[in-house]
């Protein structure tokens, strides 16, 4: 019942957004912003095309490696700073100020180091994703109630048993929250890198479409990315809520 109501609300929201889009189109004209229906028609033709496939694949590959790096490095830093109190106390403010820094500023440095390669885009994506993963993992470990560890000592659990049956379940919901934000920001980083300077990927496709004044293609790519990000976020949010309820 609640789920049905919520789905209805989401649907309502989408309808209102499409109507607002149509209204904006009427206000500014077709060259500036194409109408929804022609755009969806274009999207249907554009999605199976090879040009879209190549770009999407390029973005997906960069994003996959960037995400792998974000998660591996972020989790490693988070676990280390969570268990080692002093490192955590020293490092947390540094991580937070790096987190709030507009990292686009540093993209030219990445470009100078890696050139216009996949490695540069992967690095830049990972720069965005590492910090939230590290910060939330660290907090998750710090917030484990000490009584959990004491009771596992009282039960004479082995080290691996403690990890598998106490630490992992206790930290998982918050760690997954970190992974979700890391996912979002890594995607943002990869796309920004592609928009700033790249010959491949969906980000460069949008910029090209803008320069050629191909409104339909520009909005189509934006819609695809919007849908991808929103769906992935909803899925991870769902997992997160499930984990929270279980604890």
Q: Please state the φ and ψ torsions of residue 210, each to the nearest 5 degrees.
A: -65, -45
Alpha helices (H) along the chain: 2-28, 36-46, 50-83, 85-100, 107-114, 118-142, 146-154, 159-162, 168-196, 202-211, 215-246
Distance CA 131, CA 134 (A): 5
Which residues are within 8 A (CB) of 218 and not within 5 positions of it... i.e. 6 or more apart?
206, 209, 210
Side-chain half-sphere CA neighbours of 99 within 13 A: 18
Single out the segment in contact with other proteins by CB under 8 A; choices: 43-51, 69-77, 169-177, 201-209.
201-209
Contact 92, 138 (CB under 8 A): yes
Single out the segment in contact with other proteins by CB under 8 A; choices: 51-59, 148-156, 170-178, 188-196.
188-196
Binding status of residue 33 toward other proteins by CB under 8 A? yes
Nearer to other proteins, 158 or 211 (CB): 211
Binding status of residue 188 toward other proteins by CB under 8 A? yes
Binding status of residue 233 toward other proteins by CB under 8 A? yes
Binding status of residue 12 toward other proteins by CB under 8 A? yes
Binding status of residue 191 toward other proteins by CB under 8 A? yes
Spell out, one character per residue from 81 to 120, where the chain touches other proteins: x when CB under 8 A holds, - when not: -----x--xxx-xx-xx--xxx-xxxxxx-xxx-------
Single out the segment in contact with other proteins by CB under 8 A; choices: 65-73, 136-144, 169-177, 181-189.
181-189
Nearer to other proteins, 78 or 203 (CB): 203
Nearer to other proteins, 165 or 184 (CB): 184
CA-nearest of 7, 40, 26, 22 to 223 is 40
**C-alpha R_g of the chain:** 22
Binding status of residue 234 toward other proteins by CB under 8 A? yes
Q: How far is the CB of 197 from other proteins (least distance, A)?
A: 8
Contact 67, 188 (CB under 8 A): no
DSSP 69: H
Options 28, 41, 59, 118; binder of other proteins; rule CB under 8 A: 28
Nearer to other proteins, 63 or 167 (CB): 63
Indicate the length of the chain as a whole number: 247
Helices 50-83 and 118-142, packing angle to 10 deg: 40
**What is the binding site for other proteins (CB under 8 A)?**
6, 9-10, 12-13, 28, 32-33, 86, 89-91, 93-94, 96-97, 100-102, 104-109, 111-113, 180, 184, 187-188, 191-192, 195-196, 203, 206-207, 209-210, 213, 215, 218-219, 221-222, 225-226, 229-230, 232-234, 237
């Amino acid at each position: 019942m609640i789920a049905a109501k919520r789905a209805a609300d989401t649907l309502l929201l989408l309808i209102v957004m499409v109507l607002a889009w149509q209204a904006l189109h009427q206000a500014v004209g077709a060259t500036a912003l194409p109408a929804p229906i022609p755009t969806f028609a274009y999207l249907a033709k554009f999605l199976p095309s090879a040009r879209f496939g190549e770009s999407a694949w390029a973005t997906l590959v960069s994003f996959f490696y960037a995400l792998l790096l974000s998660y591996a490095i972020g989790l490693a830093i988070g676990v280390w700073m969570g268990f080692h109190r002093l490192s955590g106390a020293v490092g947390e403010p540094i991580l937070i100020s790096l987190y709030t820094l507009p990292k686009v500023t540093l993209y030219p440095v990445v470009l100078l180091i890696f050139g216009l390669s996949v490695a540069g885009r992967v690095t830049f994506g990972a720069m965005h994703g590492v910090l939230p993963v590290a910060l939330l993992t660290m907090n998750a470990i710090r917030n484990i109630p000490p009584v959990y560890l004491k009771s596992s000592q009282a039960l004479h659990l082995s080290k691996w048993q403690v990890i598998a049956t106490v630490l992992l379940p206790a930290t998982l919901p918050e760690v997954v929250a970190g992974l979700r934000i890391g996912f979002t920001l890594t995607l943002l980083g990869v796309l920004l890198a592609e928009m700033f300077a790249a010959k491949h990927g969906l980000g460069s496709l949008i910029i090209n479409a803008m320069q050629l004044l191909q409104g339909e293609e520009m909005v189509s790519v934006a819609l695809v990315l919007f849908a991808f990000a929103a769906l992935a976020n909803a899925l991870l949010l769902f997992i997160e809520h499930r984990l929270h309820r279980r604890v």
